[in-house]
Structure 1
Amino acid sequence: MKIEQIYTGCMAHAAYYIENNGEAAIFDPLREVQSYIDKATKDNAKIKYIFETHFHADFVSGHLDLSKKTGAQIVYGPTAKPNFETIIAEDNQEFKIGNYTIKAIHTPGHTLESTTYLLIDENGQQHGIITGDTLFIGDVGRPDLAQKLVTDLTQEKLAGMLYDSLRNKIMPLSDDLIVYPNHGAGSACGKNMSKETTDTLGNQKKVNYALRADMTKEEFIAELLDGLSAPPAYFPQNVLMNIQGYDSLETIMTKANTALEPDSFEALANQSEALILDVRHENDFVKEHVPNSVFIGLHGNFAPWVGALIMDVKHPILLITPEGKEEEAITRLARVGFDNCLGYLKGGLTAWKAAGFETESIVSISPEQFATEKDQTKHPVVDSRKPSEYKAEHVENAINIPLDFVNAQLSEVPKKEEFYLHCAGGYRSVIMASILKARGYHNMINVEKGISGIRNAGVPLTQFVCPSTLK
């Protein structure tokens, strides 16, 4: 069976392309859709269906633009109620792509409309399942997203539905089936996802904690909800965009791809109260940047961090980008629903300084300098990594303020004395430093290369010890 996984690493997202006998289907497309059209054109195929496994929360799907461009019909699972024309599949309804058969299996739990698609080849052999966020490699979908839209739909209720879906709909299927999930490691849609992006169902039954044969529903719910952090603020906003509709990507690009001279850039920033978002490399931002700008580099997990840290997808944004990266930045913002980009600084920092505007910098030191001076200065150390990373190893007495929660934990940031700030490799700490500077904190010292550099510089690291294990 011909199926291609189209994996976008910065989003930890997998779309799927299936083609047979001149017909094609796309599953869970990203917002920029031309690459899917190009694949079908290369195969002399017509895109017949756009299958959605559920209303996505972590990105804006390209279903509407793709449908308008190709005439393909959009398919959702049972109970879905979008504000546009679509096919609402019945449980076990079958669709044809050439000689292939796609069978919709309703698997509620991650969301009410979540649907798994069973792939059957031209010989009637079951090949695999496109599971969306119902089943990942090593994990299952979080059950706390739909409650943001339906208040009486608790995460406990959804977790119970997911247990039933997995036991009654997924686990009875053949062990030979290949599992094709919507996400891999790094996605906020689960908590324990593998770096692998496919596996057999049989192996998942052996290694995935959520598929243990002897697991009760109560045990499943408890384990699934244990350690589940709050979802990013943009998730429910993206769900609504996927349900209600949105402007075409071409419209967004036309508005946002506007080069602004420094004077116009500054005037528009003041007039619109736009966030100035600098997407260059962290090393460039540390050396010099526009005052009050926030750094989130394109080379890292750009879109998820934008979504996690900018609370409103409608907030106006002005960009500072490396030359030639303007369209990429606008597109990647649009992937997560940030459509209100007003333009970018023409000529970048060079033009900004030539126009007589000031720049600022961040104090940044090497891991070796940190190792030499930390015991002398006695400055506090702030670790911006996730709690799980912090527990694995950290600088002794370091304060853990995860970047995801810097806005909520601002009161824990040292105010009256200098402090060291680090992450895992140097990306997240500069994001946090930029946010803190924009809020009036100027007392941080960034440690380059993060914990990896600190470890290599010979700084002793300690592990978190649970109090219950202490004698």
Structure 2
Amino acid sequence: MNIEQFEDKGLAHLSYAILCDYAAEIVLIDPARDITPYLSFAKKNKATITGVIETHPHADFISGHLELHQTTGAAIYCSQLLGATYPHQTFDDGDTIAFGRIELKVLNTPGHSPDSISIVLTHEGKDHAVFTGDTLFIGDCGRPDLREQAGNQTAKREELARQMYHSLRNKLLPLDDEVWVYPAHGAGTLCGKNLSDASRSTIGAERISNWSLQTMDEERFVRALLKDQPFIPRYFSYDVGLNRYGAAPLQKSLAQVIIGKPVKFSNQIFIVDTRPEQYFKKGHLPGSINIQNGGKFETWLGSIIAPEEAFYLAADSEEQLNQLIRKAAKIGYEDFIEAAFVISDGSEGMDALNMEKFKSATDDYTIVDVRNAAEAQEEPVFSHAINIPLNELRDRLTEIPFNKPVVVHCAGGYRSAAGSSIIKNAFKSKTGVFDLGESVKGFFD
């Protein structure tokens, strides 16, 4: 038996292939949109992919479950509560899958979503591992506030938080201490708030160190779980729905993206310019916002641009452009790309902030802090700053006065580059807009 873990660092997503050497069969759990790594793993091990399990309809990425079924003939397993419209076999409490000396038995573990399941792997009659999806993470548990308006079944966050309390204690904690825990996400995901950097653990280790498994009554647990959850990107509910139906094959979707700079741009459509901020500021096209290519590009693209909203995608090379189109496809946004093209310059720019002048008279500027509210409250930088989190900025631009020059900051420069470009694009010549960038670090106590 072999458990292979696949990691997508950009989305902090973990998926799994369970290989039974004896039967030469593989069952996948929570696969990513790109199915190539799983097909390669099967080929390398001379095994057949016979099953794909979805622990729930994911909010933060598009799954490749339907394409895997279409490509390999593997059966898709998911909870009946999911209401899947793709070909599938329901998989709920009491159901099992057996192949070789391996048996997979399902536990309904609602809490992150009403339709969440966890999968216990039994090898030669002994519980060996549990695949917990977004129910139990290493150091944390899944957030309960993503299904109030999405999915086949919706539920209020308080209700799901209570279900999470019982799922953890009645379904997962009774497992033996030596059972390995394999979650669907690691640190950096927005599906939880305080995950460990570890990618696996054991029930025994989590019993000791995971806050959500400690002795407490239900009311205390619910309060703690609901407090300070991270923001919800715009794309999350869209992905829940798309995963419930199943996405189109990746290569077919990518082939439909129009490559090449349009002869004429629509001024109603943003240009998402992904170049490093120093190049963007030097010269970009009118109507551009600067969402830099980086580790969290997918998250910020899906937080700033709404589902179904068309956008142009620009990069500084063909290699980068192809990479970014694939990143957009991870969250199902390839269909919204009006055109994708390479860019090196543009007719508009952004001036650099005069730091000496700013330091000597910060009151002469309107300062906009685009960090999350909890960050701004915990470690304020400027006492008179207006806090508008980056994911809310487009909807709250009217809260920013333009009687003074505007200076935008975050914690390190990535979000402020995007935020300042959004404000500059909206304010145009009304007032100066500046990005404090990495210089903000000099203002922290």
TM-score, with structure 1 as normaliser: 0.87
1:419 pairs with 2:419: no
Residue identity in the other structure for 2:392: F
Q: Which residue of 2 aligns with 1:178?
A: 180
Secondary structure at 2:266 match in 1: helix
CA shift for structure 1 position 450: 4.9
The 5-angstrom pairing of residues 42-441 of structure 1 reads 42-121=44-123, 123-149=124-150, 153-213=155-215, 215-256=216-257, 258-261=258-261, 265-267=262-264, 269-270=265-266, 273-312=268-307, 314-323=308-317, 324-338=319-333, 339-345=335-341, 347-349=342-344, 358-365=346-353, 370=355, 373-376=358-361, 378=363, 379-397=365-383, 398-441=385-428
State the partner residue of 1:468: none
Deviates more, 1:14-23 or 1:143-152: 143-152
Question: Separation in 2 of the partners of 1:382 and 1:82?
Answer: 43
How much has 1:292 moved relative to structure 2?
A: 0.9
Question: How far apart in 2 are the matches of 1:172 and 1:300?
Answer: 37
Change (3 A) 1:152 1:118: closer
Residue pair 1:281, 1:299 contacting (<8 A) in 2 also: no
Cα displacement (A) at 1:383: 2.2
Q: Given residue 361 of structure 1, which amino acid in structure 2 is its aligned partner?
A: G
User: Following the alignment from structure 1 to structure 2, what is the Cα–Cα distance between the partners of residues 302 and 61?
Assistant: 18
The TM-score normalised by the length of structure 2 is 0.92
* 8 A Cα contact 1:318 1:344, kept in partner: yes
Aligned pair in 2 of structure 1 residues 196, 392: CA closer, same or farther (>3 Å)? farther
Unaligned residue ranges in structure 2 (runs of 5+): none
State how far apart, in whole Å, the 1-side matches of 2:153 and 2:101 are. 43
Cα RMSD, aligned residues only: 2.1
The verdict on how the C-alpha distance between 1:278 and 1:207 changes in structure 2, with shifts beyond 3 A counting, is same
Q: Secondary structure at the match of 2:199?
A: coil
Give the secondary structure class of the aligned counterpart of 1:239: helix
Q: Is the 8 A contact 1:275 1:315 kept in 2?
A: no
Contact 2:207 2:213 in 1 (8 A): yes
CA contact 2:413–2:438 (8 Å) conserved in 1:
yes
Counterpart Cα distance in 1 of 2:301 and 2:154? 29
Letter in 2 for 1:73: A
Contact 2:109 2:117 in 1 (8 A): yes
> What is the CA distance between 1:245 and its match in structure 2?
2.8
Cα deviation, 1:25-80, whole Å, max 9, x if unaligned, reads: 21111111111111111111111111111011111111111111111111102422
Contact 2:409–2:435 under 8 Å retained in 1: yes
Q: How many angstroms does 1:372 deviate by?
A: 6.6
Task: Determine helix, strand or coil for the equivalent of 2:347.
Answer: coil
* Residues 433-466 of structure 1, C-alpha deviations (whole Å, 9 max, x = no match): 12112222552211231543x2xxxx463xxxxx
Q: Which runs of 5+ in 1 are unaligned?
A: 351-357, 462-471
Distance in 1 (alpha carbons) for counterparts of 2:235 and 2:409: 26
Contact 1:142 1:224 in 2 (8 A): yes
Count of aligned pairs between the two proteins: 436
- Whether the 8 Å CA contact 1:134–1:140 is kept in 2: the answer is yes
Residue 12 of structure 1 is matched in structure 2 by 12
Whole-angstrom CA distance in 2 between matches of 1:399 and 1:40: 53
Between the aligned partners of 2:5 and 2:288, the Cα distance in structure 1 is 37
Name the CA distance, whole Å, in 1 between partners of 2:32 and 2:174: 31
Do the aligned partners of 1:134 and 1:141 also contact (CA within 8 Å) in 2?
Answer: yes
Describe the shift of the 1:364–1:4 C-alpha distance in structure 2 as closer, same or farther (beyond 3 A). Answer: farther
Residue 101 of structure 1, CA deviation: 1.8
- Structure-1 residue corresponding to 2:33: 31
User: 2:438 matched to which residue of 1?
Assistant: 449
Distance 2:117 2:399 in 1: 42
Give % identity.
Answer: 34
Query: Which amino acid is 1:405 matched to?
Result: E
**Change in CA separation of 1:349 and 1:93 when aligned onto 2, cut-off 3 Å:** same
